[in-house]
Amino acid sequence: RVEADRPYSVHIGSGVYGLFMDAYRPLLDAADRIVIIADERVAELHLHYLMSFLSNWEIAVFTIPSGENAKSVETFMACHSFLLTEQCSRNSILLAFGGGATGDVVGFVASTFMRGISFVQLPTTILAHDSAVGGKTAINHELGKNMIGTFYQPASVLYDSSLLVTLPLCEVRSGMAEVIKHAFISNKGWLDEILAIKDFKQLTETDLTYHLEKGIAVKAAIVEEDEFEGSVRKYLNFGHTLAHAIEGYLGYGKVTHGEAVVVGMTYALLLSNHHKLDEFIQWSIANSYPFHLLKKLPFEELLPYMKKDKKSSKGVLNFILLEQTGQPFVEEIDEKRARSAYDKLILQIG
Mark residues 101-140: x for contact with ligand NAD by CB under 6 A, - for none: xx-x-------------------xx-xx-xx--x-x----
Q: Is 240 annotated in some ligand binding site?
A: yes
Identify which of 243, 347, 343, 252 has the alpha carbon closest to the alpha carbon of residue 299. 343
> Is 1 one of the catalytic residues?
no
Of 39, 160, 227, 247, the one binding ligand NAD (CB under 6 A) is 39
Q: Looking at beta carbons only, is 166 or 288 nearer to ligand NAD?
A: 166
Q: How far apart are CA 341 and CA 347, in angstroms?
A: 10
Total residues contacting ligand NAD by CB under 6 A comes to 30
174 contacts ligand NAD (rule: CB under 6 A)? yes
Identify which of 336, 256, 321, 319 has the alpha carbon closest to the alpha carbon of residue 293. 256
Per the residue annotation, which of 181, 257, 274, 276 is the catalytic one? 257
The CA angle 36-59-136, to the nearest 5 degrees, is 25
Q: Is 325 annotated in some ligand binding site?
A: no
> Is 129 one of the catalytic residues?
no
> Is 227 one of the catalytic residues?
no
**Quick one: which segment of 65-73, 151-159, 190-198, 210-218 binds ligand NAD (CB under 6 A)?**
65-73
Q: Least distance from C-beta 147 to ligand NAD, angstroms?
A: 11
71 contacts ligand NAD (rule: CB under 6 A)? yes
Q: Looking at beta carbons only, is 39 or 345 nearer to ligand NAD?
A: 39
96 contacts ligand NAD (rule: CB under 6 A)? no
Q: Least distance from C-beta 76 to ligand NAD, angstroms?
A: 13
160 contacts ligand NAD (rule: CB under 6 A)? no
Q: Least distance from C-beta 235 to ligand NAD, angstroms?
A: 14
> Is 211 one of the catalytic residues?
no
Q: Is 67 annotated in some ligand binding site?
A: yes
Q: Is 257 annotated in some ligand binding site?
A: yes
> Is 41 one of the catalytic residues?
no
Q: Least distance from C-beta 104 to ligand NAD, angstroms?
A: 5
Catalytic residues: 115, 136, 178, 219, 229, 233, 237, 240, 244, 257
Residues flagged as binding site: 66-71, 100-104, 124-125, 136, 145, 178, 240, 257
State the residues that interact with ligand NAD by CB under 6 A.
39, 41-42, 45, 66-68, 71, 98-102, 104, 124-125, 127-128, 130-131, 134, 136, 146, 163-164, 166-167, 171, 174, 257
